Amino acid sequence: MISGGLQDYLGSLLLESDMVSLYTTMSEPDTDGDGVPDSSDAFPYDPTAWKDTDGDGVPDGRDAFPEDPEYSSDIDGDGKPDELDPDADGDGMPDAWERRYGLDPTLDDSGADPDGDGYTNIEEYMEGTDPLSESSNPGEREKRIFESSLLTAAVILVALLVTYLFFSRGGRGLRRERKEPPLPSEGILELDEELEEFLEE
pLDDT tens sequence for the chain (201 residues)? 445 665 665 555 555 556 555 555 567 888 878 788 888 878 888 888 888 888 999 999 889 999 999 999 999 999 999 999 999 999 999 999 999 999 999 999 999 999 999 999 999 999 999 999 988 877 665 666 666 776 787 778 777 777 777 777 665 555 555 566 665 555 566 666 766 676 666
**Rounded CA separation 176/160 (Å):** 20
| Strands (E) located in the chain | none
The Cα-based distances of 125 to 22, 84, 107, 116 in angstroms read: 59, 21, 16, 15
Shortest CA distance to 50 belongs to which of 59, 72, 62? 59
Q: Assign 3-state DSSP to the chain and report helix, strand, coil percentages, each to 5.
A: 45, 0, 55
What are the backbone angles phi and psi of residue 32, rounded to the nearest 5°? Answer: -90, 0
Say what angle helices 2-11 and 16-27 make with each other, to 10 degrees. 120
Angle at 168 between CA 162 and CA 169, to 5 degrees: 95
Angle at 40 between CA 11 and CA 62, to 5 degrees: 125
* pTM beyond 0.95, yes or no: no
